[in-house]
């Protein structure tokens, strides 16, 4: 880390890795296999961060390694159309039919940045609505009361984002339909898009209240705004398709990432054909990328989605439920308030007595307790997100024994952190 700090700001390639929310030095990892990661000192951890949700099949899955190795032997990038990208595009479309057309990019930020540019171009409007604590990557328009590392580090917004642009990002509390209606009515600028993580993973895990997503769909329809679901984290994670299928609410544009790359840089945005047709070269809205559709990344994504059958998804979901139930039980036995939640193979919790419905609730949770708990878990060989404002994940590589062991270890971590 001393060498890293001499080269990179904070010694990291992404701020949330820097343990700013929990204190101490980041762990430098050397390898991963299945449910486990091993650090450079040889310590092993059961991993529930899984590259921030990317590794739904766990670390170094043989099918993914073989697919990437085979693709690499044929060349790492062509900058041309390839068969692999069509195969993955068709597979994504088959699993999420509301993406009538889509385009691959290399990060969730790119996907969401492109989705908003497209929504602004399609509607001819400039304002967007986002939700307090939601994180959509680091494009300028999203760094207004964002979640994830922005909330973790307590950054108000981000310097460098012109006030005139930030002013076009209106922010409402998650789960607050009235606030959205008030913003839309009161905005001097017509709203191009309502942008939301349909299930929030960047303020901790926060579930939508019944009817909330449907209400956003209705407001979008009433006002001519587009509804944009950021499913970078929830896609192929909360349900075999994503949050849209789970909640029966279909957005106009969807962003995907993480799982569809199986650990390699893949993200995508897509939606109705008549909207996507505005994208260059068919339409005038420009977006491009040297490594978009990269064959290695496409191969990893294909191997991942092909393995991720509905049966396997249900199995991982069942294991997640087993872990959350065990954690709730241990916390209750220790009389520690725990607001735990699950969405498919995504899970999360706050040290709080009451349920958490938005970022303000999340901020009222005991984040100091979380920091103590995080380090106690780490010392016991369980790797959780180094922030109370992140979600946890499960992979097909985690066995029932891993889960039962984790419940024991985390129960003990709660005991020592409680003091
Ligand atoms: P990337 O640009 O980091 O690939 O994706 C941005 C993004 C967009 N939308 C959602 C819902 C996301 O969760 C993310 C990225 N998530 C964070 C962790 N919560 C990535 C980890 C990091 O920032 O290092």
Residue closest to 149 by CA, chosen among 47, 20, 13: 20
Cα of 261 from ligand 1 centre, angstroms: 13
Q: Is 92 within 8 Å of 99 (Cβ atoms)?
A: yes
136 Cβ inside 6 Å of ligand 1: yes
pLDDT recorded at residue 156: 67
Beta strands across the sheet bearing 226-231? 101-105, 267-271, 253-256, 226-231, 191-196, 127-131, 169-172
52 Cβ inside 6 Å of ligand 1: yes
Residue 99's contacts (CB-CB under 8 Å, 6 or more residues apart) are 92, 93, 254, 256, 268, 270, 271
How is the chain split into domains, by residue range? 2-61+309-418, 62-307
| 151-204 residue pLDDT tens | 888 776 789 999 999 999 999 999 999 999 999 999 999 999 999 999 999 999
Flag whether pLDDT at 231 surpasses 80.
Answer: yes
Return d(Cα 81, Cα 295) in angstroms, integer: 10
- The one catalytic residue among 48, 135, 269, 370: 135
| 363-378 residue pLDDT tens | 999 999 999 999 999 9
In 332-388, where do the E strands start and end? Answer: 339-343, 346-350, 382-383
Domain 62-307 in the same topology as domain 2-61+309-418: no
| 283-327 residue pLDDT tens | 999 999 999 999 999 999 999 999 999 999 999 999 999 999 999
- 73 three-class SS: helix
Q: Measuring from atom 5 of ligand 1, which residue has the nearest CA?
A: 108
Cα-based distances in Å from 52 to 58, 98, 216, 346, 382: 12, 25, 27, 10, 15
pLDDT recorded at residue 158: 83
137 Cβ inside 6 Å of ligand 1: yes
202 Cβ inside 6 Å of ligand 1: yes
Cα of 149 from ligand 1 centre, angstroms: 9
Q: Is 77 within 8 Å of 294 (Cβ atoms)?
A: yes
Q: Is 10 within 8 Å of 18 (Cβ atoms)?
A: yes
Q: Reply yes or no on whether 93 is catalytic.
A: no
Cα-based distances in Å from 339 to 15, 176, 207, 291, 369: 26, 20, 12, 41, 13
Flag whether pLDDT at 149 surpasses 90.
Answer: no
154 or 67, which is more confident: 67
Specify whether the backbone of 340 is left (phi greater than 0), alpha (psi in -120 to 50) or beta: beta
For the record, the structure tokens of 100 come out as 């009538």
Q: Measuring from atom 1 of ligand 1, which residue has the nearest CA?
A: 108
Q: Reply yes or no on whether 130 is catalytic.
A: no
**Average pLDDT value for residue range 382-397:** 98
What's the CATH fold of domain 62-307?
Answer: 3.40.640
135 Cβ inside 6 Å of ligand 1: yes
φ and ψ at residue 336, rounded to 5 degrees? -110, 125
pLDDT recorded at residue 157: 78
pLDDT recorded at residue 281: 98
- CB atoms under 10 Å from CB of 353, counted, come to 12
Flag whether pLDDT at 339 surpasses 70.
Answer: yes
- The one catalytic residue among 47, 258, 269, 357: 258
Cα-based distances in Å from 375 to 24, 150, 362: 9, 21, 20
The pLDDT-based confidence of 241 (bands split at 50, 70, 90) is confident
Flag whether pLDDT at 220 surpasses 80.
Answer: yes
Return d(Cα 418, Cα 313) in angstroms, integer: 34
Q: pTM of the prediction?
A: 0.98
Residue closest to 331 by CA, chosen among 356, 350, 358: 350
Q: Which of 53, 54, 55, 137 to mutate to test the pocket of ligand 1 (most atoms within 8 A of CB)?
A: 137
Flag whether pLDDT at 224 surpasses 90.
Answer: yes
**Average pLDDT value for residue range 99-127:** 98
For the record, the structure tokens of 268 come out as 């995508």
φ and ψ at residue 127, rounded to 5 degrees? -80, 150
Q: Reply yes or no on whether 272 is catalytic.
A: no
- Antiparallel, parallel or unpaired: β 101-105 and 267-271: antiparallel
Q: The domain 2-61+309-418: what is its CATH number?
A: 3.90.1150.10
| 19-52 residue pLDDT tens | 999 999 999 999 999 999 999 999 999 999 999 9
Burial (CB < 10 A; 0-12, 13-18, 19+), residue 53, is buried
18 Cβ inside 6 Å of ligand 1: no
Count the residues in the chain.
Answer: 419
Q: Which residues pair with 231 in a beta bridge?
A: 256
């Amino acid at each position: 880390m001393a060498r890293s700090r001499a080269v990179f700001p904070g010694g990291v390639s992404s701020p949330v890795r820097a343990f700013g929310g929990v204190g101490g030095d980041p762990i430098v990892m050397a390898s991963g296999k299945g449910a486990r990661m091993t650090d450079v000192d040889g310590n092993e951890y059961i991993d529930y961060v899984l590259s921030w949700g990317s590794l739904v099949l766990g670390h170094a899955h043989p099918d993914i390694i073989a697919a990437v190795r085979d693709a690499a032997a044929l060349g790492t990038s062509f900058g041309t159309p390839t068969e692999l990208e069509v195969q993955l595009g068709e597979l994504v479309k088959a699993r999420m039919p509301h993406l009538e057309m889509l385009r691959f990019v290399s990060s969730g930020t790119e996907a969401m940045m492109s989705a908003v540019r497209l929504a602004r171009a399609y509607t001819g409007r400039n304002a967007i609505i986002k939700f307090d604590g939601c994180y959509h990557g680091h494009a300028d328009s999203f760094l207004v009361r964002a979640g994830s590392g922005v909330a973790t580090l307590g950054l108000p917004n981000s310097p460098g984002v012109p006030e005139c642009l930030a002013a076009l990002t209106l922010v409402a509390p998650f789960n607050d339909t009235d606030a959205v209606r008030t913003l839309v009515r009161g905005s001097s600028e017509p709203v191009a898009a309502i942008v939301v993580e349909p299930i929030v993973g960047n303020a901790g895990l926060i579930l939508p209240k019944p009817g909330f997503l449907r209400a956003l769909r209705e407001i979008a329809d009433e006002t001519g705004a587009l509804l944009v679901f950021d499913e970078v984290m929830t896609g192929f994670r909360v349900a075999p398709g994503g949050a849209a299928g789970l909640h029966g609410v279909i957005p106009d544009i969807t962003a995907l990432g993480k799982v569809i790359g199986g650990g390699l840089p893949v993200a995508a945005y897509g939606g109705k054909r008549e909207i996507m047709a505005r994208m260059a070269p068919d339409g005038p809205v420009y977006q491009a990328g040297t490594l978009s559709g990269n064959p290695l990344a496409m191969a990893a994504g294909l191997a991942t989605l092909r393995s991720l059958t509905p049966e396997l998804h249900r199995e991982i979901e069942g294991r997640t439920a087993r872990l959350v139930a065990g954690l709730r039980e241990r916390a209750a036995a220790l009389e520690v308030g725990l607001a735990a939640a699950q969405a498919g193979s995504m899970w999360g919790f706050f040290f709080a007595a009451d349920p958490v419905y938005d970022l303000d609730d999340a901020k009222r949770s005991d984040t100091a307790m979380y920091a103590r708990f995080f380090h106690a878990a780490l010392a016991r060989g369980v790797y959780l997100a180094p922030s109370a404002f992140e979600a946890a994940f499960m992979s097909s590589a985690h066995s029932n024994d891993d889960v039962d062991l984790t419940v024991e270890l985390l129960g003990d971590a709660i005991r020592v952190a409680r003091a």
